[in-house]
Amino acid sequence: MEAPRSVEALRELAVRIGRGDTAVTLGGKAHAVLAKLVERPEEVAVRTITDLAAGLGVNASTLTRLATRLGYEGFTDFQNVFRDSLAQRHRHFYSQQAERLVAGATARTLGRAETQSVEVQTVVQLARESIHNVEVFLAQLSAADLRSAAKLLAEAPRVRIHGLRQFSTLAGFLVYGLGLIRADVGLLDPQGLGAAEGLAQLQRGDVVVVTSVEPYTRSVGQVAQAAADAGLTVIAITDTRASPLVPPARHAFFVPHESSFFSNSMGAYLIFCEGLLNLVATQLGKGALQALARRERFITGLQIEAE
């Protein structure tokens, strides 16, 4: 097989390897390393093999073996793919400068807190880390995947969301947001009867959204695979292309969660989901407006909101 000559092709290959959809095979550790490399192309382009290996917690020889396994002559040949991509991006100098200007203004605003207390500094650091996570997932977004996923979520007869532990909060957020603009949306297992019971209520054409990140909740991956095997459409919101949620998913979206927070950072995930919900609302058009208006009539009639 010819080695991929673009970062996007490498990203697609990483997904196909996870699905067993290609002649290239990698061990779990090597696959995880590849998934992390394609999510940080700027670093791969400019850092030495020693620095990259140290940052990934592997030996430099692991990266060399990975490159040759993928069909490259060596690590330098592999790294040139990332360097060429970076050079291509630099051709759009003026638009990138404008982006940096906006980002710089944000950083300067946050930087004002540097003379403030340790308490404020803690929040500022987390905010900066979340901004970086957002920038990383934005760089990887596929317009085609977003468009198709939004269409599926708008048109499926039923949508069920499944996330456990910390990501049960993200699942709940998605259920609430989708429930504002369309009917028959819910958690896969709202009453604790088990995921099997929830899946049994669905039929081909229904959509199951799964979400989990490292350290992955084993059962979420099992549910995703069971849903796909039953002919249901799976959409995954996860962290890397080595995630166990990727193989059974028709569409997978990758959002990093690296931060100094003592658990997985959720900020970038919420922003991604807000964007996805807006796209679904756009797909629904007047239907979304009618659903919102109907909800508002109930809120008003039941006097739910304080005046």
Q: What is the mean pLDDT of residues 202-218?
A: 95
pLDDT at 262 over 60: yes
Give the model confidence (pLDDT) of 90-106 as tens digits.
555 445 545 555 555 55
Query: CA 138, 143, 145: angle at the middle one, nearest 5?
Result: 100
pTM equals 0.77
| Domain 7-89 architecture | Orthogonal Bundle (1.10)
pLDDT at 219 over 90: yes
Report the mean per-residue pLDDT for the chain.
88
Q: How far, in Å, are 51, 62, 122, 266 from residue 56 at the CA level?
A: 9, 10, 26, 22
- The pLDDT of residue 105: 52
The domain limits of the chain are 7-89, 93-140, 143-300
160 DSSP β-pair partners: 186, 208
Lowest mean pLDDT among 219-233, 254-268, 291-305: 291-305
- The pLDDT of residue 37: 92
252 DSSP β-pair partners: 236
State the Cα–Cα distance between residues 120 and 200, nearest whole angstrom.
Answer: 49
DSSP-assigned letter for residue 4: P
| Domain 143-300 architecture | 3-Layer(aba) Sandwich (3.40)
Give the model confidence (pLDDT) of 119-148 as tens digits.
888 888 899 999 989 998 998 889 999 999
